[in-house]
């Protein structure tokens, strides 16, 4: 099996289970979070996200070896963005500030052949209208030498493990 270096931006109830499963599959995974408490907890093997079987996965020696956390992105083959997109109730729109911030944070680390996956729940055309201009300002071209996909999360927080497997 070919393994990849993967950066997961956002290690909450969507990003962390994805990071755990990718690490269990043998990939080198860096979980990135702005909360230093979360970064420290992951590096200590402690989960702040609830899920019966998630701690069991975290305790797997392969996962402990392959999963690290830090507060800033780094170079990788694949970037997964799994940040919150809260609803702005006043305007009845998704707040994409964290998606924009996450996209900007990976741009300095992008290179030809990278895959960027947006896993956050967002309105249609967010990849095209919001992320693509940020990425292409770096000189890379979506679909030509770098790739962008949207894979919206479909996780029920009450049963994360079942949903992700």
Does the domain spanning 5-164 belong to CATH 3.40.50.720? yes
What are the residues facing 136 on neighbouring strands?
Answer: none
Query: Percent of the chain scored above 90 by pLDDT?
Result: 80
91-117 as b/e: b if 16+ CB within 10 A: eeebebebbeebbebbeeebeeebebb
Q: What is the pLDDT of residue 54?
A: 86
Tens digit of each residue's pLDDT (9 = 90 or more) over 99-113 = 999 999 999 999 999
pTM above 0.85, yes or no: yes
CB 18 within 8 A of CB 82: yes
Task: Give the gyration radius of the chain's Cα atoms.
Answer: 15
Q: What is the pLDDT of residue 53?
A: 82
Tens digit of each residue's pLDDT (9 = 90 or more) over 143-153 = 999 999 999 87
Angle, CA 45 vertex, CA 41 and CA 47 arms, to 5°: 60
The residue ranking higher by pLDDT, 52 or 101, is 101
Rounded Cα–Cα distance for residues 73 and 34 (Å): 10
* Mean pLDDT of the residues in the chain: 92
Tens digit of each residue's pLDDT (9 = 90 or more) over 77-86 = 999 999 999 9
Sign of the CA dihedral with 120 first, then 124, 128, and 134 last: negative
């Amino acid at each position: 099996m070919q393994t990849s270096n993967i950066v997961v931006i956002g290690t909450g109830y969507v990003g962390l289970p994805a990071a755990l499963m990718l690490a269990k599959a043998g990939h080198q995974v860096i979980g990135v979070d702005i909360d230093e408490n979360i970064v420290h907890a992951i590096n200590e093997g402690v989960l702040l996200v609830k899920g019966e079987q998630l701690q069991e996965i975290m305790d797997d020696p392969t996962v402990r070896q392959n999963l690290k956390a830090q507060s800033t992105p780094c170079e990788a083959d694949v970037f997964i963005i799994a940040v919150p997109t809260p609803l702005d109730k006043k305007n009845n729109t998704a707040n994409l500030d964290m998606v924009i911030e996450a996209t900007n944070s990976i741009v300095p680390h992008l290179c030809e052949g990278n895959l960027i996956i947006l896993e956050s729940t967002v309105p249609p055309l967010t990849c095209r209208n919001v992320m693509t201009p940020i990425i292409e300002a770096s000189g890379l071209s979506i679909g030509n030498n770098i790739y962008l996909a949207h894979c919206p999360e479909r996780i029920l927080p009450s049963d994360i493990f079942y949903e992700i497997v």
